[in-house]
Structure 1
Amino acid sequence: MKIGIISSAYPDFEDDPHGIFVHRLMREIVKKGHEVHVLAPYTGGETEYTLQGVQVQRFHYFYPQRFEKLSGRAGMIDNVKEGFLVKIQVLTFLFFNVVHSLLKLRKMDVIHVQWPIPNGLGGIFLKKIYGIPYINTIHGEEVHLSKRYHLLFALRWLVNNSSKTITNSTATRKFCLEAGLDGDKIEVIPFGVDTDFFRPLEVYKDKNIFQILSVGYLIERKGFEYIIRAMPQVLDEHANARLKIVGSGPLESELKELIYELELGDEVEIVNNISDDELLMVYNSADLFVLSSIVDSQGNTEGLGVVLLEAMACGLPVMGSNVGGIPDIITNNEIGVLVEEKDVHGISEAIKKLIKDKELRTILSKNGFNLVKHNFNWETIAKRYIEVFEDLI
């Protein structure tokens, strides 16, 4: 089976985090003997390459090419705010997306569109002209963006004309139904984790330190501000607690300034630009993983929380906000601990409880590990996608 992927984010190399979860799914599908061709916008690297068996082609969407800014690594949502020239590129992106889809993917058996806004037009044209069935995967941002920019009519058209739509969580599916999308076509298939790679390891841990870890892109909806603000209360009772945030992004300077203002320079650090191998060691060196995501000022929130799955696969007890798709993963006090978003006191109290209660941490670690191993490994997720593809052709 030849599968064409249209995505606005895809990694340039193995450790590149830009759209890495899309690549991990496609890599697993290739392992099953299928042929995968990815079409994605140019981000500064090679225009044609093969990444772990997945064939990738990049397209330019604006000329002169040196002014292309829309598909940069900060993400289109943030990049489009950079000025009038970038806003114009939304239109040229849509045009060249369709043109290159028709040129490069017309011999595929099925088309899989990641983020129907802005990538769904290519799938629509391939279906109308060549009769190729296409499915969408909705990650959540598309629904919020469509509401904000009064584009729900476009999202409904793109989704309701598809053969099938996948959402990454029940929360995202709910957002879709509230937006008037065709519920009969919507199925929930979460993203997964490479449980062969992310796994428990015997590593050195400083017995005198309780290491708290959080990982993600440094943007508002990840809620890093709130776990940082919770740390002084945690330290009042547990002076040996430390917080490590792994990630980069537009809020890095702001978060570092907050750390300085709260005089947490010795207890909280932000680390970025690490490889997957280094990240694996960081997970295994920690004692607790926290994802304090929020519903941000634009209405966006966590679609699922893949970093939670990675942490659980490494045997870490986890804690997350009760927003978006996080409750799809965490059953409170069974798989992990749920706290309310932006509740600094609640976050600090939950962390203090987990620091004190080693037995609870052990139970959460075991239950979380078993859940990910059986329900969220990429092999299981890939099989579910392949079944969807095969039902359409």
Structure 2
Amino acid sequence: MKIGVITSAYPEYEDDPHGIFVHRLMKEVTKKGHEVHVLAPYTGKMTNFQLDGVYVQKFNYFYPKRFQKLAGRSGMIDNVKEGVFVKFQFCSFIIFNLINSYKKLKDMDIVHVQWPIPNGLGALFLKKISKIPYINTIHGEEVYLSKKYHTVFLIKLLVNNSSKTITNSSATLKTCLNEGLDKKKLDIIPFGVDTSFYKPLNIVKDKKIFQILSVGYLIERKGFMYLISSISEVSKKHENVRLKIVGSGPQEKQLKDLITKLQLEKYIEILGNIPNDELLKMYNSSDLFVLPSIIDSQGNTEGLGVVLIEAMACGLPVIGSNIGGIPDIISDGETGLLFPQKDVVELSKSIIKLIENRILMEKIADKGYQMVKTNFSWEKIAAQYIDCYEKIKK
């Protein structure tokens, strides 16, 4: 089967975090013998290449192309805040996306749209002109933004014309239903993790410190400022606590300034992006993983929380905020601990609770590991998508 993928984020190399979860899904689909062609916006380097057997073509959406700002690595949601000039590029993006969808994907058997806004109109055009069916994957943020900018009618159009629309969590599904999207078109398939790569390793940990790890793009929605603030409280009781944050992004300076303000330079380090091999070692050399995501000022939140699954696959106990798709992964007290978003006091208590209760740490780490192996391997997730493709093509 020839599968076309229209997405607004796709990596250019294996350790590139820009849309990496989309690539991991499509790489697994390719392993099953299907031919995958990805269409994505240009982000500054390559335009036509193969990555792990997936064919990737990147298109320009504004000229002169050196002024393209919308699809940069910060992501469209953050880039569009940069002013009227970037907002105008959103309109040109829609036009060039539509044109390139027809030119590049008109001989596909099926089209898979990631983020139907802004990527779905090309698939709709292909369906009307070339009779190619399409499915959507809704990640959550496009629904929140559609509500904010009064364009829910457009998501409804794209969902109603799809053969199937997949949401990544029960929280995203609920949001779609609340906005009146067709229940019969909707289903849930989460994103997953490569359990052959993310796995427990025999790494000796430094027993003199309690190492906490968090991973993510440094934006408001990830809530890192609340985790940093919680370390101020935890360190008063447990001086050996340390926090490493892996990631980069527009809030990096703000977060480093907060660390300095709270005099936590001894306890917290922001590392930037690191290769997957190093991240795997970091998961395995840590004692606890925390994802402190919030509902941000745009009304957007965590669709699922893939880094939680990666951490659990490595045998780490986890703590996450009780918002978005995170409760789909963490059953409180069983596969991890949940705390109310933005609640520094409760987050501090949860961290201290695990530092002081190794039996509970081991219990939730083991149950989390088994849950991920059973439900979240990329092989099983890809099989669900392939089943969806095949049912549509019958």
Deviations 1:205-239 (A, max 9, x none): 11100001110001111111111111121111111
Aligned length: 393
TM superposition shift of 1:74: 0.3
Please identify, of 76-85 and 294-303, the stretch whose mean Cα deviation from structure 2 is larger.
Answer: 76-85
Secondary structure of the structure 1 residue equivalent to 2:146: helix
5 Å-filtered alignment, 1:81-100, equals: 81-100=81-100
Distance 2:298 2:92 in 1: 25
**Which residue matches 1:71?**
71
1:194 is the counterpart of 2:214: no
- Any gaps of 5 or more consecutive residues in structure 1? none
TM-score, normalised with respect to structure 2 = 0.99
**Which residue matches 2:222?**
222
**Which residue matches 1:205?**
205
5 Å-filtered alignment, 1:212-251, equals: 212-251=212-251
1:347 is the counterpart of 2:347: yes
Task: Give the letter aligned to residue 358 of structure 2.
Answer: K
Secondary structure of the structure 1 residue equivalent to 2:111: strand
Secondary structure of the structure 1 residue equivalent to 2:57: strand
Deviations 1:327-371 (A, max 9, x none): 000000000001110110000001001001001111111111111
Secondary structure of the structure 2 residue equivalent to 1:334: coil
Secondary structure of the structure 2 residue equivalent to 1:248: coil
5 Å-filtered alignment, 1:239-318, equals: 239-318=239-318
5 Å-filtered alignment, 1:131-150, equals: 131-150=131-150
Distance 1:193 1:177 in 2: 27
Secondary structure of the structure 1 residue equivalent to 2:249: coil
Secondary structure of the structure 2 residue equivalent to 1:234: helix
**Which residue matches 1:177?**
177
Distance 2:231 2:8 in 1: 36
TM superposition shift of 1:273: 2.3
Secondary structure of the structure 2 residue equivalent to 1:174: helix
5 Å-filtered alignment, 1:27-38, equals: 27-38=27-38
**Which residue matches 1:128?**
128
- Any gaps of 5 or more consecutive residues in structure 2? none
Distance 1:274 1:11 in 2: 14
Distance 2:296 2:82 in 1: 19
Secondary structure of the structure 2 residue equivalent to 1:364: helix
Secondary structure of the structure 2 residue equivalent to 1:176: helix
TM superposition shift of 1:158: 1.2
Task: Give the letter aligned to residue 320 of structure 2.
Answer: G
Distance 2:336 2:46 in 1: 41
**Which residue matches 1:363?**
363
**Which residue matches 2:390?**
390
Task: Give the letter aligned to residue 374 of structure 1.
Answer: T
TM superposition shift of 1:46: 1.2
Distance 1:46 1:232 in 2: 43
Distance 1:211 1:95 in 2: 48
Distance 1:112 1:87 in 2: 25
Distance 1:293 1:238 in 2: 24
Secondary structure of the structure 1 residue equivalent to 2:69: coil
Deviations 1:291-324 (A, max 9, x none): 0111111110000000000000000000100000
Distance 2:200 2:349 in 1: 27
List 4+ stretches of structure 1 deviating above 6 A. Answer: none
TM superposition shift of 1:45: 1.2
Distance 1:148 1:327 in 2: 25
TM superposition shift of 1:5: 0.1
Deviations 1:188-209 (A, max 9, x none): 0000000001010111311100
**Which residue matches 2:46?**
46
Distance 1:58 1:297 in 2: 31
TM-score, normalised with respect to structure 1 = 0.99
1:167 is the counterpart of 2:167: yes
**Which residue matches 2:379?**
379
1:101 is the counterpart of 2:104: no
Distance 1:273 1:298 in 2: 25
Secondary structure of the structure 1 residue equivalent to 2:270: strand
Distance 1:228 1:166 in 2: 34
**Which residue matches 1:4?**
4
TM superposition shift of 1:82: 1.4
TM superposition shift of 1:161: 1.2
Task: Give the letter aligned to residue 174 of structure 2.
Answer: K
Distance 1:365 1:239 in 2: 23
**Which residue matches 1:26?**
26
